[in-house]
Amino acid sequence: MLTKGDSSGAAVVPRKGKMAGLRIIQRHHFTAQLKRMAVVAGFTTLSGEVTYISAVKGAPETIREMLHTVPPGYDNTYKTLSKRGARVLALGRKELGRLAHAEVRSLTRGDLENNLTFAGFIIISCPLKRDSKEVIREILHSSHAAVILTGDNYLTACHVANELKFTQKSAILVLQAKEKGSKELSENLSDREGQWAWQDLDGSLSLSVSLSEVGLDVALKKYDLCVTGEGLSYLHTAHPSLLKSLLPAVRIFARVAPKQKELVITLYKDLKFTTLMCGDGTNDVGALKHAHCGVAILSGAPDRPSSGLRRVRQAERQAERQTDRPTERRGRRNAGGKTSVNTASQNSALLTPQQEQVAKLQKLLQELEQDSNLIVKLGDASIAAPFTSKLSSIQCVCHIIKQGRCTLVTTLQMFKILALNALILAYSQSVLYLDGIKFSDYQATLQGLLLAGCFLFISRSKPLPELSRTRPLPNIFNLYTISTVLLQFASHFWCLVYLVSVANDISPKRSGAVELEKEFEPNLINSTVYIISLSLQISTFAINYRGRPFMESLKDNKPLLYCLICAFSLVICLTVGVVPEFSRQFEIIEFPEEFRVTLLKVLTADFSLSLAADRLCLALFGEGGLPSSLTHASL
């Protein structure tokens, strides 16, 4: 363990027993491109002289090329550990001997990272978070494709992908180069295709880069693909078109640098995919910035709220429910009319339920403040991402998708309702206006209040707790929206024209020209058009409310349900004339018995036809899904 040294910032290994302390003299920091770090350390011998050593730590495949002698079983050991999901770091050291201070300062990184003696492996166990499997299962079940972007070894990444069910096909193919040094490999990334091959994890299967042996389409359906950082550079340089074809089938990107994570996100966007990136470190900043939606995870935070915080939230919800209940006044007054003085125990006994909940909440907050909770500090990832989770769990990704789907569906259905209402009003208040048909002030006010209430309660819809496999349509310009609006308006238009013509037939014939500026006078045609217009506009809310599987259904959205029931009841009351005074207040005349029955039948038929047309269009064109290029990669 390294501890802070003197004011110069050097780190010192604390002494144990008679061992001399090690002072770090020179440090070459870790970089994602080199996959290693190196230091020069010195210790004082018993004779008082300073002896220097170099120590290197990094990826096993990188350190292997720097060793003077590779011990037997080196590759098998670190690969076996990586296949179990552990992070493996290799250690190497070299004796530099006694050097002058100037000689130590003149040492380059190349002088330190050669002819090393193998010093062992560091094995880091990284168990999965408690809810990771469930969250990934829900994401994949909701018609999304998930990909791993990591700087870890591809064997470790493949193990994690298998545990989380990212991969469920017959085998995983990894793009690898023939055995050669990293320097030679980096200088010949664009060499001919024969130097690279797709191999399975056991090395028993080898296919060419183009997968010509089995065919590209067959291979993408049969195998999951894993691309390392070096393989990504090779494909991007030598075969950019092949990379775009393979990209939807790649499940794992391993040993990738921060710039390569950014490149992967950019390539997905070039293929017109919508991307969500979830990361927790500085190396994820570029990818978080370029993704359509970036989510930063705080690695030092707990994966679930603390027990005290959960109790506070429960108390808050219970207190909110109590505020909706009427409170009773409690107190005693003496004979003179003055309030009697109570003791502390009497005051606590006379608290209302709401005050008791507030007192409990304050007590829980005090207990929470006394707890020594972890102080979470925001990092670079949270600065680059528009969303930051207070917990280390990835459950927040599901929350974002649920809220996004609910908002999208609500917006689309409001556009449909606005389009239908605009078409209905356009006919009833423009074309029919030329025939002298208009609404009174009371009628327009009532209509506006009902529509405003319905729009308000639609916008307050809540998402369902589970993500559905069905995906919502991405925009309003689609076959479902256009077809359902046209078919519903055709039904509404027929209803409006037919009932107006019937009302004209039984109304007294008008003589002379129509006076457009004449004051409103209630008559059969005005009342008929108002009832039809109000009924059609209310029915558009009931028919076009989507509900499940993206948000709560109409039965669960109680405010909207009650608003629609009241609106339909009002229309029936005005049509039947249950309360004559109410009808006269809104200047609706009493309809003839035969015409009243016809009016109700036509309105019922219009509602049924519009509902059937919308459900038919929804079944034919209303369900979204994964893009065709990702269907073979979905799990």
The Cβ-side half-sphere exposure at 211, using a 13 Å CA radius, reads 24
Using alpha carbons, list the distances in angstroms from residue 163 to 119, 150, 158, 326.
Answer: 31, 15, 9, 53
Which residues are within 8 A (CB) of 328 and not within 5 positions of it... i.e. 6 or more apart? Answer: 352
Q: What is the pLDDT of residue 2?
A: 37
Q: What is the pLDDT of residue 265?
A: 94
The tokens describing 210, both together, are 């183009």
**Phi/psi-derived region of residue 330, left when phi > 0, alpha when psi is between -120 and 50, beta in every other case:** beta
The tokens describing 615, both together, are 């459900």
Q: What is the pLDDT of residue 131?
A: 83
| CA pair distance 483, 617, nearest whole angstrom | 7
419, 492 Cβ separation under 8 angstroms? no
Q: Return the domain boundaries, the chain.
A: 3-124, 132-256, 307-323+344-372, 401-630
CATH class of the 3-124 domain in this structure: alpha beta
Q: What is the pLDDT of residue 4?
A: 34
Q: What is the pLDDT of residue 575?
A: 87
pTM of the model: 0.73
CB count in 10 Å sphere of residue 408? 16
Give the CA angle between residues 53, 59, 63 to the nearest 5°: 45
Q: What is the pLDDT of residue 348?
A: 45
Of 420, 619, 481, 459, nearest in space to 551 by CA: 459
Question: 432 phi and psi, to 5 degrees?
Answer: -70, -20
Beta pairing partners, 471: 624
Q: What is the pLDDT of residue 269?
A: 92
Q: What is the pLDDT of residue 346?
A: 45
Q: What is the full DSSP assignment across 145-209?
A: ---EE-SS-HHHHHHHHHHTTS--SSEEEEEEEPS--HHHHHHTTTS-GGGEEEEETTS--EE-T
Q: CATH topology for 401-630?
A: Calcium-transporting ATPase, transmembrane domain (1.20.1110)
**10-residue mean pLDDT series, the chain (635 residues):** 38 51 85 85 81 90 90 89 87 88 84 89 84 88 89 88 84 79 47 75 84 83 89 91 89 90 93 89 86 84 60 55 45 43 44 68 59 51 81 87 90 90 81 72 85 87 87 85 91 88 80 65 82 88 88 89 90 85 83 88 92 90 66 44
Of 365, 369, 152, nearest in space to 252 by CA: 152
The kind and range of the H/E element at 443 are: helix 441-459
Q: What is the pLDDT of residue 56?
A: 93
Contacts of the segment 282-285: beta carbons below 8 A, 24+ positions apart: 282/258, 282/379, 282/380, 282/381, 283/32, 283/151, 283/257, 283/258, 284/149, 284/258, 284/381, 284/384, 285/258, 285/380, 285/381, 285/383, 285/384
